[in-house]
Chain A
Amino acid sequence: AQSVAQPEDQVNVAEGNPLTVKCTYSVSGNPYLFWYVQYPNRGLQFLLKYITGDNLVKGSYGFEAEFNKSQTSFHLKKPSALVSDSALYFCAVREISSGSARQLTFGSGTQLTVLP
């Protein structure tokens, strides 16, 4: 079975500082990994995904994520945080060889607050 852990329920960072939102995963084989963001009373917006290749993935709004196979991690990063980045962030995984199980398994979410 596949699973995702987001060890921090809440991350606070000052505007202009770098931010990191942590994610670790567990799958039997190789993973597809995703980051989504959810603003209040909204659906999820896709940020970026890792399929294969470069371990550093660049996505929307200046976000990037680093895939680390040995640590089974896929942390989300941004060099300089904005107040408007404040939202709920979800990491998700799907195992490559999951056959008919194409749904995503999500972490519990991390609330990011960027302080002005």
Chain B
Amino acid sequence: EAGVTQSPTHLIKTRGQQATLRCSPISGHTSVYWYQQALGLGLQFLLWYDEGEERNRGNFPPRFSGRQFPNYSSELNVNALELEDSALYLCASSFRRTGGIETQYFGPGTRLLVL
């Protein structure tokens, strides 16, 4: 069974540009989570999508946004890039269980470098 996939693996942008990162969840998973792993800041939650809707977002400015498509894949958009947006962006997927606990499985990440 294929795991979570992310593209591109690396992305280089300049300050002020926009970046688009993509994630395909494990087949059958309906939830997608986005996390940022920046140097010195650890892993921080960005966004959670389930069944096509944004369910929760972390403490990030509105220029971080995304969406989930009908096939449950997801896109993370970062507008007006700043130098501190340079990080590894990790996508995770899970099968949402009502009243239960799901395990999040992570993709390999997209490394974004903002120059």
Chain A positions 68-105 with a Cβ under 8 Å from a chain B Cβ: 90, 94, 96, 100-105
Residues on A with C-beta less than 8 A from B58 are 103
B103 lies within 8 A of A46 (CB): yes
Give the A-B contact count at a CB cut-off of 8 A. Answer: 54
Q: By the criterion of a CB under 8 Å from any partner CB, how many residues of chain B are at the interface?
A: 25
B114–chain A nearest beta-carbon distance, Å: 18
Which applies to chain A's interface (DSSP): helix, strand, loop or mixed?
loop
How far, in whole Å, are A109 and B90 apart by their CA atoms in the complex? 15
Contacts from A to B (Cβ < 8 Å): 32, 34, 36, 41-46, 49, 51, 90, 94, 96, 100-109
Inter-chain pairs besides A100-B55, A106-B43, 12 sampled, C-beta below 8 Å: A34-B104, A43-B106, A44-B92, A46-B104, A46-B105, A49-B101, A49-B103, A102-B31, A102-B96, A103-B33, A104-B45, A107-B42
13 A-B residue pairs with CB within 8 Å: A32-B101, A41-B111, A42-B108, A44-B106, A46-B105, A90-B43, A96-B101, A100-B55, A100-B56, A103-B56, A104-B104, A106-B35, A109-B42
